[in-house]
Amino acid sequence: MLEFNLKKKQARKELYYKKNNFVAKLGIELINKKTDLILHKPNSSILFDERLKVKDSSKNDYIINDINLIFEKEKKADALICNFDLQIPLVNNAQNFYKNIYKILNKNGFFCFNLLTLNSFTTLQKIFLEIDDHVFDGAQLRFGPFHNISNVISDLNDNKFKEVVVSTENIEVNYKCLNKLRKDFKELGISNYYREKSRTNKKFYKKTTSLFKELVAKHDYIPVEIEISTFTSWK
């Protein structure tokens, strides 16, 4: 089974928040819109970013930047809200994470989080498939993980969460510079973090740079599709 390097992901996570990665900022806006609609405001919330907000909440909000800490401290709350913090942890052990989050929430607790889902990076993945096929005679794992919405809903239901609702936001970002693209998405944590790294060499980088220049010259940009899915549910 493929696994992700969580330690490396955490380091990248801190970096992209400091640099105000635009996808992270959009994710926070989408979540804050959801929390504004909550009728019964939680008395206490665990938030994974100081920019995440619960309207009219009390002063019992607890801001944390490492999801594993809440399991260690066994802190209870009426709400747990995070941006893309579950993107990689849910790949390795989704059932365990949902089970532990369920335990942390008080009765009628609110759970809200963002994931990047399957309709992300479709054009870019096709481009790199062509490059890898040319250089390595086969595909390499370059991006991910991107989650399947139906599977996430099913997992939440299996772990006793109720009233599961998902909304999606699809955006397209146009890039003219390969280095800018690499920088943005490494910081977001959706470039490759598999333990067994994808193959690269001078030929790969040369082919990548050359193909991107050709595509930008022809189309004026490289489209990058991003699908952000916001999940809400209750204990």
What percentage of the chain exceeds 90 in pLDDT? 29
Model pLDDT, residue 197: 54
| β-sheet bridge partners, residue 147 | 117
pLDDT, tens digit, for every residue of 141-159?
A: 777 778 999 999 999 999 9
Q: Where are the alpha helices (DSSP H) in 52-121?
A: 67-73, 89-104
CATH code, 6-234: 3.40.50
What is the mean predicted confidence (pLDDT) over 172-189?
Answer: 74
* DSSP H/E element including 218: helix 202-219
What is the mean predicted confidence (pLDDT) over 159-166?
Answer: 96
Confidence of residue 110 (pLDDT cuts 50, 70, 90): very high
The answer to whether 146 and 121 are in contact (CB under 8 A) is: yes
* DSSP H/E element including 228: strand 222-234
- Give the alpha-carbon dihedral of 177, 146, 153, 22, to 10 degrees: -20
Confidence of residue 198 (pLDDT cuts 50, 70, 90): low
The pairs formed by 129-133 with CB atoms below 8 angstroms and a separation of 24 or more are 130/211, 131/204, 131/207, 131/208, 131/211, 132/204
What is the mean predicted confidence (pLDDT) over 61-74?
Answer: 73
Model pLDDT, residue 200: 72
Residue 72 structure tokens = 């260690």
Does residue 15 surpass a pLDDT of 60?
no
Model pLDDT, residue 50: 79
Q: Which of the residue ranges 7-11, 14-18, 57-61, 190-194 has the most confident prediction, judged by mean pLDDT?
A: 57-61
Q: What is the mean pLDDT of the chain?
A: 80
**Whole-angstrom Cα distance, residue 134 to residue 205?**
12
User: Which residue did the predictor score with more confidence, 103 or 130?
Assistant: 103
Sign of CA dihedral 180, 183, 129, 200: positive
What is the mean predicted confidence (pLDDT) over 22-31?
Answer: 87
**Whole-angstrom Cα distance, residue 185 to residue 12?**
10
Among candidates 79, 7, 74, 83, which has minimal Cα distance to 51? Answer: 83
What percentage of the chain exceeds 70 in pLDDT? 82
